Chains A and B, each alone.
Chain A
Amino acid sequence: MEKILGYFEKLGDTALYYLDQTGRMGIFLFFSVASIFKPPYKISPIIKQVYIIGALSVSVILFTGAFTGMVLGLQGYHTLNKVGAEAWLGSMVALGLIRELGPVMAALMVTGRAGSAICAEIGIMRISEQIDALDCMAIDPHKFIIAPKFIAGVISLPLLTAIFDVVGIFGGYAVGVGLLGASEGAYFSSIYSNVEFADVYMGLVKPLCFGLLITWICSAKGYFVHLERNASFGAEGVSRATTNAVVLSSVCILVFDYILTSLLI
């Protein structure tokens, strides 16, 4: 009986912890977004964050975009060839990238590269009392640290996704047309005739949401590193929070991708 009660106690404890964490993250999101609209408005911290989150992610986006497009071209050509529809290769690659793979893959790449860095940076600021120092100087940490990252995430993700899509389409072209001999004209004309504004719209809305999602989760995990369950302070605590941030962001990207697709399709 005691064992069963202990089990329920543990279950309740876990439920309370996650409820507490969800509430905390919700309040964090509210204060961070609200701080964006509070003066003073400074552009230089935003530019710096766009560079860190966006510009420094371009190389990884170019590589992953090119190879994703290439594998789509390869798989698509062989599949379409079976039914004699290789003329549709361009639209298949483009629609796959613009609607799904571009936003999701770019978001996953940014999570791995920039999201982990955001979490680690803020986590270190927390454990070395830099965030407390900001509070004591009457400087809002949400405004000073988090808001520029939120804005930069929302600006960078759509741009990186656009780069991913374009590079991917040319990757598909290189394999489908260059290596496997599909028609060059058909590749681009099928894109032109089948990709509609609604597809581009979906491909724009998703990265906007993912940009906010990644910066929110990664910033909050770093900000509350001292409140993590079984928290160990110092480097180990930050490392654990960073891992959790990347895993949670990646899962949330896939979950929200489904939700957004079902709403926008």
Chain B
Amino acid sequence: MSSEPIIQLKNVNKTFGTQHVLRGTNLSISEGKTTVIVGGSGQGKSVIIKHILGLIQPDDGEVLVYGKDINRISKKELREIRTNFGVLFQSAALFDSMTVFDNVALPLRERTKKSGKVIADIVNENLALMDIVGSNEKYPAQISGGMKKRVGLARALVLNPKIVFFDEPTTGLDVAKSNEIYRVFFKSQAQLGYTAVIVSHDVPKIFKLADYVALLYQGQVQDYLTPEEFQLSDDPIIRTFVETTMGQLYSSKSMEGE
């Protein structure tokens, strides 16, 4: 790993009722890179993100963000750490009683002292970056699923966060709309240079975005590898995952040697 980890999970355990979701999970996320967390449904990928965001507390273990255990700091300190975050929720989590414009303007209105004119300029610029034009006065219920995700992304990026979390950014979208989300992701990351943490099912397409891939299996992160290393890994669990999701791969090492 080339750069310092800014997020670390150390031996995190989490149980919901009788379901032991995270079993001593360890994960390090590097600054300025895109980390993709993959795994089957119900393995706890979103639970990992919620732990990092401080929305869920682990039963035991540590969740370190910028070296601070977010479960052992004050509410004020947690809020300060969260000022570095941008989050695109699986459901987009737009405020349904607010227009598209107000949704994106909300963090600026609540967290900055910028004038209405400056806020309007920033919001319009962000919406244009997401290719959303002419929908400022629409409510979330009046726009499509893909557009909701893009508005959610515009809102997540409006304060230029250092770390952006994407929880299943393309779930429920068709291929064209998924590609649209990936395109705006590339565009915005190139422009803003944030660290990205993506939870996704969209394998192998999501690998094109990734600097590192982590597979979550039975509550544990199997490895933290580049997409190429991940696809060629000899680890039987990773191998099975790759073959299940991408089909049998040609590998000079593994196949010609047989």
Contacts and interface: CB of A to CB of B under 8 A. Distances in A.
Given A128-B96, A144-B110, A136 B91 contact: no
B93 A138 contact: no
Given A128-B96, A132-B55, A144-B110, A137 B82 contact: yes
B85 interface: yes
B91 A138 contact: no
A130 interface: yes
Interface of B is mostly: mixed
Contact of B79 (A130, A140, A144): A140
Interface residues of B, number: 23
Contact of B111 (A125, A130, A135, A138): A138
A139 interface: yes
Nearest to B97: A121
B115 to A, nearest CB: 14
Given A135-B82, A137-B107, A139-B106, 15 more contacts: A40-B110, A129-B89, A130-B93, A132-B89, A133-B95, A135-B55, A136-B82, A137-B82, A137-B87, A137-B106, A137-B155, A138-B80, A138-B82, A139-B107, A144-B110
A124 B93 CA distance: 11
A77 B79 CA distance: 62
Contacts of A125: 95
Interface residues of A, number: 15
A40 B112 CA distance: 10
A136 B110 contact: no
Interface string B169-180: 000000000000
A208 B165 CA distance: 43
Contact of B95 (A40, A130, A136): A130
A240 B251 CA distance: 56
Q: Which of A132, A140, A144 has the most CB of B within 10 A?
A: A132
Which 6 pairs from chain A and chain B are nearest by CB?
Answer: A129-B93, A133-B93, A138-B82, A136-B87, A138-B83, A138-B79
14 contacts: A40-B110, A124-B96, A128-B91, A128-B93, A129-B90, A133-B87, A133-B93, A135-B55, A137-B85, A137-B106, A137-B111, A138-B85, A139-B107, A144-B110
